[in-house]
């Protein structure tokens, strides 16, 4: 505008308009929409929610985070909480705090019962939901697969273990299959443990819940680079697959609902509001009266 000598409002006025008119309008709209989404979820019954944290840390160590909760049946965001790490002590506690605030907010808006919540394996969240036995807490298969994949990647980088690398994709896919094809936690674990034999070209298993692999004999090109029993690579991969905490958590893997839509939502936010842009807005929100709705950011970026 300046370059072409076109008269326009100055930057300060622009920000003032934003703060006085645009933000409150978007806040009002989101509040109305949220009320509607909550009402719909309550009317549908058997509420199943998914929760996940997104940290905003451009050059900072997760100073802010947004905890997003989705109604997984309707595939709609039902609540978003903005958390500042120094409010809760440190960034590791933000995830649990986000969930607590979301559940409080939903309760205040009439959601008295929640059937199930799907999250990642964050220990603070696990501990908190243990104290709420009325809610069935399940773990998201995508997050679990990502964790195992990272461990296999790290193992493949160590000496004498690079042959586990090509198994990563197959093992992670097997994990998803275990979840989607099983009807009980016991069945998931039995199927999952069988992969430790499968990588060694052993396809019958000493387990009554899953005695044999379901695939046809793998011949020719289908034959994989089988791991030799008792080698470091094979032993260490088996340790990853049969880690006691992983097996315990696998029993609680979600078989039907996943939080992948929340991941998509977070990547959409990132596209419209890069972390560096969103940051100044979050800063403003924290010091203003409308700090309780970060969901506004996405709408603002679309509006602008
Ligand atoms: Zn097999």
pLDDT number for residue 89: 76
Task: Record the tokens describing residue 195, joined without a space.
Answer: 């992969």
In this prediction the pTM is 0.81
Using alpha carbons, list the distances in angstroms from residue 248 to 123, 130, 167, 202: 13, 14, 23, 24
User: What pLDDT shows up at residue 280?
Assistant: 52
Taking residue 5's Cβ as centre, other Cβ atoms within 10 Å add up to 6
Q: What is the pLDDT of residue 290?
A: 38
Q: Which pLDDT value is given to residue 18? A: 81
**pLDDT at site 302:** 40
Ligand 1 center to residue 158 CA distance, Å?
Answer: 26
Per-chain residues with Cβ under 5 A from ion ligand 1 = 198, 203, 213
Cα 127 to averaged position of ligand 1 atoms, centre (Å): 36
Please give the distance, rounded to the nearest whole angstrom, from the Cα atom of residue 229 to the centre of ligand 1. Answer: 15
CA of 184 to the centre of ligand 1 (A): 21
Please enumerate, as own/partner, the contacts of 155-161 that have beta carbons within 8 Å and a separation of 24 or more: 155/233, 155/236, 155/237, 155/240, 158/236, 160/231, 160/232, 160/233, 161/232, 161/233, 161/236, 161/237
Q: How far is the CA of 146 from the centre of ligand 1 (A)?
A: 22
3-state SS class at 17 = helix
Q: Is 127 exposed, middle or buried (0-12, 13-18, 19+ CB in 10 A)?
A: exposed
Distance (Å) from CA 160 to ligand 1 centroid: 24
Which stretches of the chain score pLDDT less than 50?
A: 59-60, 282-284, 286-304
- Cα of 238 vs centre of ligand 1, distance in Å, is 15
On the CB side of 68, how many CA atoms lie within 13 Å of its CA? 23
What CATH class is the domain 17-139+256-303? alpha beta
pLDDT, position 284:
45
Q: What is the pLDDT of residues 70-96, one digit of tens each?
A: 999 999 999 988 887 777 877 778 889
pLDDT tens for 252-267 read 999 888 888 888 887 8
Ranges in the chain annotated CATH 3.30.420: 17-139+256-303
pLDDT of residue 295: 42
């Amino acid at each position: 505008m300046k370059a072409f000598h076109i008269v326009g409002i100055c930057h300060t006025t622009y920000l003032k308009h934003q703060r006085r008119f645009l933000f409150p309008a978007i806040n009002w709209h989101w509040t109305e929409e949220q009320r509607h989404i909550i009402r719909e979820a309550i009317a549908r019954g058997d509420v199943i929610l998914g929760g996940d944290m997104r940290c905003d840390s451009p050059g900072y160590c997760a100073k802010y985070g947004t905890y997003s909760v989705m109604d997984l049946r309707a595939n709609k965001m039902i609540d978003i909480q903005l958390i500042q790490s120094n409010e809760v002590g440190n960034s590791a506690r933000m995830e649990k705090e986000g969930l607590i605030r979301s559940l409080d907010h939903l309760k205040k808006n009439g959601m008295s019962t929640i059937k199930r919540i799907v999250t990642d394996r964050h220990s603070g969240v696990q501990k908190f939901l243990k104290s709420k036995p009325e809610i069935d807490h399940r773990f998201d298969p995508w997050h679990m697969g990502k964790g195992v994949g990272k461990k296999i990647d790290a193992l493949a980088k160590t000496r004498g273990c690079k042959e586990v690398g090509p198994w990563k994709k197959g093992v992670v896919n097997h994990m998803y299959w275990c979840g989607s094809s099983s009807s009980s936690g016991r069945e998931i674990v039995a199927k999952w443990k069988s992969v430790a034999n499968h990588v060694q070209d052993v396809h019958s298993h000493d387990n009554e819940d899953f005695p044999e692999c379901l695939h046809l004999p793998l011949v020719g090109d289908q034959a994989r680079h089988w791991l030799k029993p008792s080698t470091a690579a094979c032993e260490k991969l088996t340790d990853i697959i049969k880690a006691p905490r992983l097996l315990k958590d696998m029993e609680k893997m979600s078989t039907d609902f996943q939080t992948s839509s929340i991941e998509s939502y977070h990547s959409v936010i990132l596209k419209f509001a890069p972390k560096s842009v969103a940051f100044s807005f979050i800063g403003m929100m924290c010091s203003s009266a409308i700090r309780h709705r970060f969901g506004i950011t996405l709408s603002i970026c679309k509006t602008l």
